[in-house]
């Protein structure tokens, strides 16, 4: 059997779990992994599957830094090197430098222009509306006057999000305080929120709230090859999210949703999408329709769960880029659950404060045999133990 070519996994500072999931997904298939991170303590670099670790401070934001670091790695290895971005900062930077990389460096993304388009929430909204995709009504006001106009037109409540994942100015950072989105219940609250964003370049998108509990959020993950053919697909329901009502999945269940998956693939093909896609929906409590929130052209924060459930999307992407056979996928595991323990504990406290979840129900949800943990895994224990120690140390220092 031919030796496997190495893959490069990007890992930005403070955003290490998605990268660790990709390292394990590839490593378990015999792919040697090179981790390129912003800091020396990247969890993926502690994995048994990591053969090299390179540190490039600023890679998630500086195309020149990332391009040089990738060129240095390519000089040390023969053959093609697939490159996996794992979170928004390194994805954005990789898309901006992709056209300048050498022929042996193969970013696991589709068209770079489209990647940047779907990452920009205002540009994605325009794309979705042009193709008739089922998105909620949204506005991207450039200034306070446009925000007031949107406030008069919207049906409440609304969700306000940063318009671009991480290009935040200081007023945005202060307004959101690390939150993914904010729910506002009337026009006065929206105008008051907007008043703290400055006089121009507000950098937010306003979206009408889709009614329904947090467990109506469903994600579909897929990989489409260069010809637009789907190589693998997976769906999961977010049973708990953090922050609650406007956050990311921290307790997730694998589903069998063939109709929604087929709808998602058809939608991605309609807009000419290629590569990895993490598509976020919420089921409307009144109409039952799955409303589209966003398409993330990368793995999700809980992307390794798809691998554990039989759909190893990084492996499928790796084989496609290198022209290798991926083999037959194992039967998909439905009804398995995933937990990001530290974020899920925070979510539990918030749900309990609202009277939505008792301690007993929370503990019973975790007492399952088919439970996949975000970072802890017996076959690759060191990264999870390092992350656990980092968390304990942070708690002790904050006490």
100: its two tokens: 């300048």
pLDDT for the residue numbered 238: 97
Supply the pLDDT for residue 115. Answer: 95
Question: Which pLDDT score, from 0 to 100, does residue 273 have?
Answer: 96
Q: What is the pLDDT of residue 47?
A: 95
Residues facing 162 on adjacent strands: 204
What is the reported pLDDT for 1?
Answer: 40
Q: What is the pLDDT of residue 27?
A: 96
Where is 347: in which H helix or E strand? helix 341-353
**If you write DSSP's letter for every residue of 68-90 in order, what string do you get?**
HHHHHHHHHS-S-EEEE--SHHH
> What pLDDT does residue 168 have?
59
CB atoms near residue 209 (< 10 Å): 18
Residues of the chain short of pLDDT 70, as ranges, are 1-3, 13-15, 166-170, 395, 398-399
- Closest C-alpha among 50, 53, 102, 99 to residue 74: 102
Q: What pLDDT is stored for residue 199 in this prediction? A: 74
Which residue segments constitute the domains of the chain, with CATH numbers given? 7-107 (3.40.50.20), 137-208 (3.30.1490.20), 214-368 (3.30.470.20)
Interval 273-313: pLDDT, tens: 999 999 999 999 999 999 999 999 999 888 899 999 999 99
Report pLDDT digits (tens) over 194-203: 888 877 778 8
Q: What is the DSSP string of 265-301?
A: HHHHHHTT--EEEEEEEEE-TTT--EEEEEEESS--T
Say what the pLDDT of residue 3 is: 66
């Amino acid at each position: 059997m031919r030796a496997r070519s190495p893959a490069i996994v990007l890992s930005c500072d403070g955003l290490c779990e998605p990268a660790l999931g990709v390292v394990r997904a590839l490593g378990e298939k015999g792919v040697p992994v090179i981790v390129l991170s912003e800091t020396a303590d990247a969890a993926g670099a502690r994995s048994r599957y990591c053969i090299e670790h390179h540190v490039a401070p600023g890679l998630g934001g500086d195309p020149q830094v990332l391009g040089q670091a990738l060129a240095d790695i390519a000089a040390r290895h023969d053959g093609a090197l697939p490159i996996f971005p794992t979170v928004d900062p390194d994805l954005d930077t990789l898309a901006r430098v992709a056209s300048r990389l050498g022929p042996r460096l193969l970013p696991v993304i589709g068209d770079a222009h489209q990647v940047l388009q779907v990452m920009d929430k205002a540009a994605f909204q325009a794309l979705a509306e042009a193709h008739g995709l089922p998105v909620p009504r949204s506005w991207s006001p450039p200034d306070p006057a446009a925000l007031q106009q949107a406030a008069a037109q919207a049906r409440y409540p609304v969700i306000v999000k940063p318009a671009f994942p991480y290009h935040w100015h200081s007023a945005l950072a202060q307004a959101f305080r690390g939150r993914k989105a904010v729910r506002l219940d009337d026009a006065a609250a929206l105008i008051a929120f907007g008043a703290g964003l400055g006089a121009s370049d507000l950098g937010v998108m306003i979206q009408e709230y889709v009614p329904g509990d947090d467990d109506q959020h469903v994600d579909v993950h897929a990989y489409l090859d260069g010809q637009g053919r789907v190589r693998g697909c997976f769906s999961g329901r977010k049973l708990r999210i953090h922050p609650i009502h406007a956050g990311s999945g921290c307790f997730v269940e694998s589903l069998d949703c063939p109709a929604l998956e087929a709808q998602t693939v058809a939608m991605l093909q309609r807009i000419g999408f290629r590569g990895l896609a993490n598509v976020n929906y919420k089921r409307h409590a009144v109409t039952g329709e799955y409303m589209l929130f966003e398409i993330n052209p990368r793995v999700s924060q809980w992307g390794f769960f798809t691998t554990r459930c039989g759909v190893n999307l990084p492996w499928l992407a790796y084989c496609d880029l290198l022209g290798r056979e991926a083999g037959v996928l194992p039967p998909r595991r439905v009804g398995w659950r995933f937990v990001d323990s530290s974020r899920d504990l925070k979510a539990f406290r918030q749900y309990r404060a609202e009277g939505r979840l008792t301690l007993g129900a929370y503990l019973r949800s975790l007492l399952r045999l088919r439970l996949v943990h975000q970072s802890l895994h017996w076959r690759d224990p060191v990264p999870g133990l390092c992350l656990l120690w980092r968390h304990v140390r942070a708690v002790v220092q904050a006490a």
